[in-house]
Every structure is written in C-alpha cells, then in structure tokens.
Amino acid sequence: MQNILLGKNDEFFSIIDKIKLGQDTNIVLVVPSGTAALRSIINLRILKEESGFLGKNIYIATSDDFIKKLAKQIGIKLTERQESIQRPERAGRIVDLRIMSDIMIPKKEEEIVEEITEEEITEPLKSIFSEPLPERPEKPKKIRRFKFKFFTPTTFKILLVIICLLALAWVIFFVLPRAQVIINPKKEKVQFEDEITADKSVDSIKAEEVIIPAQYFETEKMESREFPSTGERDVSEKAKGKITVYNQFSSSPQTLVKTTRFRSKDGKIFRLTSTVTIPGATIDEGKIISSNKEVEVEADEAGEAYNIGPSDFNIPGFEGTPKYTAFYGKSTEPMTGGAKGKMKVATADDIKGATNIVTLGLKEAALQDFQAKITTGLKMLDNSRATEVIESSSNLKANQPGEKFIVTVKVKVSGLAFKEQDAMYLIEKNVSDKIPQNRTLLFSTIKIDYSVSKLNLAQGKIDLSCKVEAESIASFDEQKIKNDLAGKSEEDVRKYLSSLPEIETAKVIFWPFWVNKVPANKDKIKVITKVN
C-alpha cells in the first residue's frame, strides 16, 4: 500500500496525476484538513471513477469531517493507518510519515482563523516523524483570532429585507394607486336627411359628389301554356299557312299576283293573300342557283280538310310552260285554321284571362330568380327595380276556331342595388354637418329609411333619399375631468360628477382597495365613457 501526501492547496487534476504516477494498486491519500479540491462531492466522485479506470484502489486518511462524510456517501474507504513511506531527512535518517490529520487543527466553516507566524505553519509537521527533531525548537501553539465583519451573510440578508420592504412601501403608496371614472352620458335622438346617388358607371365612392357604386341586375323568364277554348259559334274558316316559293327559271324576278294558285300533292288549292315578287336566280359558272321567298297563302275553300301538313306545291298557272317545273313551293309547317260548321272558338276573354294567369305566375318566378342574384351585403329596394312583359302572344286570334289555344308570355325583371355600407360611409362622413359640434353621434344606433327619388334603369342611376335616425351623447373633455379630479376624495368626486348635467350616471373605482382618493398623478386616472 502506497501513501501519497497531498498539499492543502493542491489542485484537483494534480491529485489525479499523482494517482496515475503511483506504483502500487492500493493508494492512501493523506489529505490535510481543509483541502478545497476534495471538499466537493462531484470531485470525489470523479476521483473514484478515474481511479477505477486506472486500476487503483484509493483510501482516504484525513481529520476533515466534511471530507469523511462526502467520501462515505460515494463509497471511498477511510483509513487511520498507512504503510510507512520513506522520506529523507537532513541527517539522512529514515522516518515514518504519519497522516496529516494527526497534526492539523480542524477548522470550522464559520470561524475565521488568522495564522500568526510563519513558524506556526511548520510546527505541526514535527508530529509526522516517529522521533522528535532535535534541531527544531518547539514552536508556540496557534492562536485563533476572530475578526468582526459587518457585512456578514446575516447582516446582508437583513439589509436586503429592509430594502425590499422600503421598495414595496414605495410601490404601494406611489405606484399602485389608480382611479377609474366610468361615465354613462345622457343620450339624445338626432334626425336628419341626406341625398345619395347610386350609379353603375362608377366603381368607387365619390365622397365630394355624394355618389356610390351601383350594380345592375336583370333576369328574363318565358312560359307557354295551353288553355281550352270556351266560345262556340258557326264558322266558315279557311286554313292558312306559309309557303316558300323557289325561282330556278332565270335571273329575272317573277311577280305573282294576289290569288295566284298553289296546288299541294293531294290536290288542295291555296291562294296568295297578296301580290309578291320572287327574286331572280343567280348564275354561277353557267349553273342556275335558285332564289326563294316566303309567302302567305289561304285555302281555296273553308273546312278542316285544308288543315294539311307540310307539303310540296306547284303553280297550276304555269302548267304547259317551262316555268312549271322551274317555279315551285314548299311548306315546312302545317296549314291551320280551316273550319266549317258549329265549333269551339277562343274568345277574346279566353285569351286575355289566359295571358293574365301566365303573366302573374311568370312575374313571381322571375322575381324569385332575380332576388337570388342579389348577393349578401347589397341593398335592393322595391322601387329600384322594374318588372315588364316584353312578349305576349296566342296561337289563335279572338273568335278563331280551335278546341285549345296556347298563350306565350316573356317577362323581364331589372333593377339597381347598392352596398349599404357605402351609403353608411357617406352618411358618417358628412354627419358633422348634421349635428351640433358639442355632441358625438353613436354610429351603432344609426337607422336609415331609404326611398327612391328617381330611377333611370336605362342609364343605371338611382337617386336615394335617406332619412337617418340615431342617438348622440355630449362630447367630454377627458383631460379637463382628470385635472378637476386629481387629488380629490371620493366624496368630492361624487359631488363633481353629479354637477355635470350631461352625465346620466357615473361611478369611481379606486385600486387597490385601501385607496380612498384620486391620485394626484393624472396619468393614473382613467376616464371611460360607457354607453348602455
């Protein structure tokens, strides 16, 4: 077992180096009391781990109770006796070196020890030799002297507490006190009118001209419905229809006089109802390209037999001439209206009533489609739109025979819409000219009743008359109120607030709870206007 004598001021890593240089696997560290490098549990743990890594078993011999306690905690063995190590003396003798704990005076943490002389430092070393040293006289024992120090940890803590209490008192009496004045002002109603123009030709608000953008909407709806004829009379009606006449004869036009006959494939004769001129054919590279014209014809006789379907026609007057095959006709729709005898007829009331029924239902449907186009945020007034019938017809005329007739109606709904927030913006912008200067308008209470002064859908303009109703409150000078209330007691504050006629109710909140007057510092006074 090898003994290694440590110095009191040895550094931690120098101790590890001494262990590395040790020649024995079992090493006793002779530790003087108060050795700072080993008064740390972390250092001792590292020392143990490094020793194990080096293959060394270490023991500690010391009189320092604190180091002993730490050593036990981490598992380093303690010893009171060590193997002798040889140390040369001046006379060449070999002496036994004992542990430093046998010769050092333990120090307490709270004591301040002042070593008097240099000789006193070496005096304890005489006990480490097995025989007394004759050449060194006995030195006087150490004298412990205690110095009084004012800035001890205890006095520092007391001073810190006093400073904190003073700071807390300053915060309580000068920083924390605040006052909050909550005012509920009296409200008065305000009414005024404004004129605004909505125009679809502008895309942004023109405040100076009092114009806002408008949006144009339009929808059309058409419906055809069949109704029964209710009239009855003796009739003798000729069927009527249209024929397209073709000229494949020459480039010269051909005039056909009124009553010119056209004969169908089944031999039914129809006559022109008016004189017409069929344009001449065109010649393209010697080839004749026929021209054509649609004409109206009427059956030669009354009766249902002439209500024929689409057919091909020739002109009997040209029979036996080259024109007979070059002039011909075709119909794409049936001939109708032919009747004879007692038959059902569509009276004028039948047609008018049917038209009204279809129109009424169609207007409602068209209006629903129109309203569906108005997006959220747009205002569409009833008087800012128009509904009109743009087409109305019946396939039978009044008193024309027919068991049934068909009415066709087409309706258009158009109008101008605008963003209400645009109108509100102009009203709020110009409100200063409408109310007294000493009052403030409560914009959240504004209600607007719109009416149309003028509507021009063709130009896309609408003039709006706006009746505005809102509530207003008196304008308060918050800085004056703060100046008047600074430093006043709660009772004086109440008297002051009750003397202001424009206030409905008011209350004062002091904070913290022990404060009973308004702070003199106006920055710690807050005035809040609260509208119920």
Other CB atoms within a 10 A radius of the CB of residue 64 amount to 22
Query: What stretches of 58-136 show up as alpha helix (H) in DSSP?
Result: 65-74, 118-122
Taking the domain 235-341, which CATH number applies? 2.40.30
Digitized pLDDT (tens) for each residue of the chain, 532 residues in all:
888 889 888 888 888 888 888 888 898 989 998 888 888 888 888 888 888 888 888 899 998 989 898 898 888 889 864 443 334 333 333 334 343 333 333 444 333 333 333 343 334 434 333 444 444 445 555 455 545 555 677 777 787 788 887 776 666 655 557 888 888 888 888 888 899 999 999 999 998 899 999 999 999 999 999 999 999 988 888 999 999 999 999 889 999 999 999 999 999 999 999 999 999 999 888 788 899 999 999 999 999 999 999 999 999 999 999 999 999 999 999 998 888 888 888 999 999 999 999 999 999 999 999 999 998 889 999 899 999 999 999 998 898 888 899 999 999 999 999 999 999 999 888 887 777 777 888 888 889 999 999 999 999 999 999 999 988 888 878 888 888 888 888 888 888 888 888 888 888 888 776 677 888 888 888 888 887 6
Q: Is the dihedral of CA 439, 443, 446, 452 positive or negative?
A: positive
Residue 97's pLDDT is: 38
Residue 150's pLDDT is: 58
Whether the link from the prior residue into 512 is cis, omega within 30° of 0, is yes
Q: Which residues contact 11 (CB under 8 A, 6 or more apart)?
A: 37
- SS3 readout for 257-273: CCCCEEEECCCCEEEEC
460 secondary structure, DSSP code: T
Residues present in the chain in total: 532
Q: Where are the domains of the chain?
A: 2-128, 175-185+475-529, 235-341
Residue 96's pLDDT is: 40
Helix 65-74 to helix 41-54 angle (10° resolution) is 60
DSSP structure string for 205-231: -BTTTTEEEEEEEEEEEEEEEEEE--E
Query: What stretches of 79-185 show up as alpha helix (H) in DSSP?
Result: 118-122, 153-170
Q: Are strands 269-272 and 291-302 parallel, antiparallel or unpaired?
A: antiparallel
Residue 101's pLDDT is: 37
- SS3 readout for 179-196: EEEEEEECEEEEEEEEEE
Give the amino acid at 132.
Answer: P
Distance CA 363, CA 388 (A): 8
Residue 401's pLDDT is: 84
Distance CA 389, CA 409 (A): 7
Q: Is the dihedral of CA 91, 94, 95, 100 positive or negative?
A: positive
Annotate 371-399 with b (16+ C-beta within 10 A) or e (fewer).
Answer: eeeeeeebbbbeebbebeeeebebbbeeb
Helix (H, G, I), strand (E, B) or coil at 22: coil
Helix (H, G, I), strand (E, B) or coil at 12: helix
